Amino acid sequence: MRDLFPARPPFHDASELRRLYLDAKPFPHLVIEGFLPDSLLASVLEEFPPFDPGFAISENGIAEGKMNRTDLPGLGESFRALDQLFGSAEFISFVEEITQIRGLIFDPSYYGGGIHCSVAGQELDPHLDFNLHPIEEKLLRRVNVLLYLNPGWDPERGGDLELYADPRDSDPGRMKRIAPLANRLVIFETNERSWHGHDRIKTLASDAPRRSVAVYYYTDVRDLPSPPAPHQTIYADRPLI
């Protein structure tokens, strides 16, 4: 791990980050700036594949403006380093300390996650994530980790991550916006109240796509007194303003 993060402090020093996470509104989350060292960030940006329509087909077979690739280790040396990082015992322990969720399990298949690359016109409606892993059904989804990779992102382009207390409430005081700036890491628990999405990406002169890496962590559902009823991703209409 120190080879990946030669200038970073140990991950176990998480007490202040845990407080920020637990106190955050509209539900617990944490934003970490400058997550990757500059050298690794530069390599990831260089190796990030361009938008490929062949990887932008929805689960309903419809072409859309969001590319999703789950073959992280196969994308290059820097992505193999990211895969090793996010699956490491040290990073998982760090996330457990922040979220206070023990027994987190990394998903090496990146089902639904991996790299996301969205072009102008794309948006993501408010939603709750699927709860049980569609293949490994004993796994209950608990934590999302999002790494944004957009240097020089123009805030006028939109594409902000949005966290909602109520997805149908237009009151900005009950919603948190997080711009997808380069090297910004966001951690939040995914549960039955963690409504989130992102607003529409606008077309401007700097028309770079919105790029990110999404990693999901699970716990063993068999450790719970009673298993939850499984559900797929639940979407809500955006509030009428």
pLDDT at 183: 96
pLDDT of the chain, 241 residues: tens digit per residue:
445 554 454 565 688 899 999 999 999 999 999 999 999 999 999 999 999 999 998 777 788 999 999 999 999 999 999 999 999 999 999 999 999 999 999 999 999 999 999 999 999 999 999 999 999 989 999 999 999 999 999 999 999 999 999 988 767 678 999 999 999 999 999 999 999 999 999 988 678 999 999 999 999 999 888 888 999 999 998 765 5
Cα–Cα dist 166/176, whole Å? 11
Taking the C-alpha atoms of residue 142 and residue 133, their distance in angstroms, rounded to an integer, is 11
Which residues touch 61 (CB under 8 Å, ≥6 apart)?
A: none
Q: Cα–Cα distance between 17 and 175 in angstroms, integer?
A: 21
Residues 6+ apart with CB under 8 A from 195: 126, 127, 128, 163, 164, 165, 166, 167, 236
Place of tokens 């996470």: 21
In 3D, which of 185, 21, 203, 57 has the Cα closest to residue 119? 203
